[in-house]
Structure 1
């Protein structure tokens, strides 16, 4: 079941973030907007998004398109996470973890109600999490493998016991697995909802818009706007036109090519948001000549990462498998540099002066990255053929059968370093020291010590040149001056809108 869950997650993540790679030119430096004027509590916030959900059942359907709008707005868990990926309480007012890292105790906030008016109790949490633990079709089932019991000592307390420590367990609870649903609820979650969040679902015009209304009976601080209308505009140019026409107050996932139009209009401020998106150039570590570390290092040395980031238009350099927003991040730029001459020397030493390789890439990623790689590799004597395939073909050939030389994918999931500790993953990277350090990091109850272990493992992975990390993705958002409080970071995975306001004037 682990493989199935990981596969579905990857499918959804790739589809949800393909938009970031469509650009091929630089963008202006962003400015930050804080909003001006007097907030209007009766206002409607109009948000332009790219990827529309296929249905609204976040329990059984994977994908950033669902998490982006539903988590924290419609549904809530015991804990949530900030834009910086730090864990904080949500439905739980307080939580403790035992010294041995096995027992998690949560205390619920008072006065929480589902949208149908039913009071939430600890029994709802238990039934929700038992479903995750026992039903393999529910999102997060694999991540609950170490859960041995979920109990409710009283109406406001939940206790979860693990069979062994898991440093990632609390973070798991910030995702779909941790959301709380009403016990025995018969709501058709594909098209309706019954959450506890600051907004309720009022309309879904499929192919067009999803509308939320403020939940005036919300147990916490009430939302700052009366309504939110999400407009789904998959075409980037159409999105910019909609913004310039005044149809949306916020446009997410702005194409860097088109960003100057919005900035030059004077009607929007642009923000660049950090993400955990890792633009990964995968090497097939089990296939000659890529099983030779000298060849892998040479390929990394051949890439001008600064120029590639500039060509993509939104991102920062990344020289290892852990991005800045995840535990264990360390600047690993000392491991690799742009050095074509050293690349040529290593290829000659490995007997690969006239190397021919194939890059297999999902077709929706466009041509920007392949063009840069073709040019950079040519300078060191490597011929790169690009095999642009439909996504199902990529899944079958690369992800499942490991039949490839190089591949390029945007790995968007947070805390996914475990892929490099899994020799059966499509990277084919097998290092027992990395596997040991990763296992110790998960079992370590001290988060700082766990992060140190992850950093050690990540450095080994980069020094082994198990892959190349072309860049850490960023998202560009255009925000009208009448809007204040719109999130900047991690908005490709969730947009908490409760604190956003719209002013009566700009």
Structure 2
């Protein structure tokens, strides 16, 4: 659910951030940069097949066990690089075949048939067969401790037609089934493999794990026996720096080839003299102000709506120097997006009226926020709420404490995190999620959207549900984020969209 980086020269300061179960980097964007800008100035020479690519990231994993550990930090670097699924997704969230060379869906939407590529092998040399696929998917379906378990709840059977063909049958049509397979639920592991996934791996991807220096870096090596096109660089080093300024310093002193999550206010330092090219990328990252819908007085819709109306969303974006306004739970890249700005116009006077009608004219609330998000958002919220008679206390905590207190125990009033996962509207159809939002009509519409085979009709159902959520003020969405990435000349093919949730580096090259 979030990310940043700290290290000046070669010295690193670590903040001990843990993996999150749905959030990622406070990635920021420079509005002047075009989303279609090239990843770098035109390079000369030829790609160096023995090159090392060093990438600055923010949030470091605490474990490499992607089967049992939630969080964008793991998915960002391991999926498509180390582990693969039958299908994957592009930067703009289109579904494409991966381990499967083809797939077919029956007319009734119940049967999915996948045919595997020839010659696929795990990193230990064992050939991948349909049995491995069946085992991986069946385990995810049956074992509640496996990430993606809920995504396979509607699967009726998983069978191997032969060594190269897998057939998955659903109990009911699912609009989101293929997309779910691009994430944790669809990753393929060796059947009965002995690998300790907490510190090692045995995937099928274009890179292998070379070394993990906990608290510092993660190093991948090219898999020269990869079944597909070989990776363009020999080595990738992910250098974890949880501080914006330190990340810029590391880039400027030559430590990094690429810096992600560049602070817009620091971006000009990297843009001078052609030392780096800055790209801006679209994301599904949602700066979410969560309301505890189960706790008084936030269980009163009038109070929640008042808080939304009290927030000057445009001022928040101006202060951050990045992002676009977002007034509903679905971002522009996801199905079902609709402009819901009418649900929360900036209106402090109406906010005060609503609070008065709810008997909450002198309200005090606590905002629990992971410390790595900084002070900009809390300060602006504190100021906005003060204008309508609400006192906001800010509780800045380390990320593991946020996970335990807010995400797991639901012990909070308000909270702020950046939810980065695409197509995660289902969180508002799940009363057990930490939002605590329970609306049967939303749940019904969401379920209908998932069983509707027509993508347009499915998106319309999601849009209807999202509008209800926004009008209910189930949460507030302070902004839809964008990312600035600094890429030095000579690095080609580095992704620029959706990189907080997926960073496929298979096609990146470094020119001599």
Normalised by the length of structure 1, the TM-score is 0.89
Aligned to 1:122: 130
- Tell me, yes or no, if structure 1 residue 39 matches structure 2 residue 39: no
Aligned to 1:6: none
48-57 or 120-129: which moved more?
Answer: 48-57
Pick from 364, 383, 398: which aligns with 2:391?
A: 383
- Tell me, yes or no, if structure 1 residue 292 matches structure 2 residue 300: yes
Unaligned residue ranges in structure 2 (runs of 5+): 1-16
Q: Offset at 1:391?
A: 4.5
Aligned to 1:12: 19
Aligned to 2:33: 30
Summarize the alignment of residues 52-451 of structure 1 with structure 2, pairs less than 5 Å apart. 52-391=60-399, 393-395=401-403, 397-451=405-459
Q: Offset at 1:444?
A: 1.6
- Tell me, yes or no, if structure 1 residue 49 matches structure 2 residue 52: no
- Tell me, yes or no, if structure 1 residue 468 matches structure 2 residue 476: yes
424-433 or 245-254: which moved more?
Answer: 424-433
Indicate if the aligned counterparts of 1:126 and 1:158 stay in contact, CA closer than 8 A.
yes
Q: Offset at 1:344?
A: 3.0
Distance 1:375 1:49 in 2: 32
Indicate if the aligned counterparts of 2:140 and 2:185 stay in contact, CA closer than 8 A.
yes
Distance 1:439 1:16 in 2: 24
- Tell me, yes or no, if structure 1 residue 455 matches structure 2 residue 479: no
Q: What do you get for the CA RMSD once the two structures are aligned?
A: 2.5
Distance 2:406 2:64 in 1: 30
Distance 1:357 1:205 in 2: 40
Q: Secondary structure at the match of 1:13?
A: coil
Indicate if the aligned counterparts of 1:44 and 1:227 stay in contact, CA closer than 8 A.
yes
Q: Offset at 1:396?
A: 5.1
Distance 1:401 1:182 in 2: 35
Indicate if the aligned counterparts of 2:21 and 2:72 stay in contact, CA closer than 8 A.
no
Q: Secondary structure at the match of 1:334?
A: helix
Unaligned residue ranges in structure 1 (runs of 5+): 1-9
Indicate if the aligned counterparts of 1:129 and 1:177 stay in contact, CA closer than 8 A.
yes
Indicate if the aligned counterparts of 2:23 and 2:417 stay in contact, CA closer than 8 A.
no
Q: Offset at 1:47?
A: 1.3
Q: Offset at 1:389?
A: 3.9
Change (3 A) 1:430 1:234: closer
Q: Offset at 1:456?
A: 0.5
246-255 or 141-150: which moved more?
Answer: 141-150
Indicate if the aligned counterparts of 1:14 and 1:412 stay in contact, CA closer than 8 A.
no
1:423-443 per-position Cα deviation (integer Å, ceiling 9, x unaligned): 343333222211110111122
Indicate if the aligned counterparts of 2:30 and 2:280 stay in contact, CA closer than 8 A.
no
Q: Offset at 1:392?
A: 5.2
Distance 1:106 1:15 in 2: 29
Q: Offset at 1:497?
A: 0.9
1:132-158 per-position Cα deviation (integer Å, ceiling 9, x unaligned): 223333322232222222111112210
Q: Secondary structure at the match of 1:356?
A: strand
Distance 1:185 1:280 in 2: 39
Q: Secondary structure at the match of 1:439?
A: helix
1:170-199 per-position Cα deviation (integer Å, ceiling 9, x unaligned): 122111221222233223333333322222
Distance 2:66 2:216 in 1: 19
Change (3 A) 1:266 1:135: same
Indicate if the aligned counterparts of 1:13 and 1:413 stay in contact, CA closer than 8 A.
no
Distance 1:139 1:294 in 2: 36
Q: Secondary structure at the match of 2:245?
A: helix
How many residues align structurally?
A: 491
Normalised by the length of structure 2, the TM-score is 0.88
Indicate if the aligned counterparts of 2:420 and 2:500 stay in contact, CA closer than 8 A.
no
Indicate if the aligned counterparts of 1:187 and 1:193 stay in contact, CA closer than 8 A.
yes
Distance 2:94 2:430 in 1: 26
Indicate if the aligned counterparts of 2:23 and 2:421 stay in contact, CA closer than 8 A.
no
Indicate if the aligned counterparts of 2:39 and 2:487 stay in contact, CA closer than 8 A.
no
Indicate if the aligned counterparts of 2:103 and 2:115 stay in contact, CA closer than 8 A.
yes
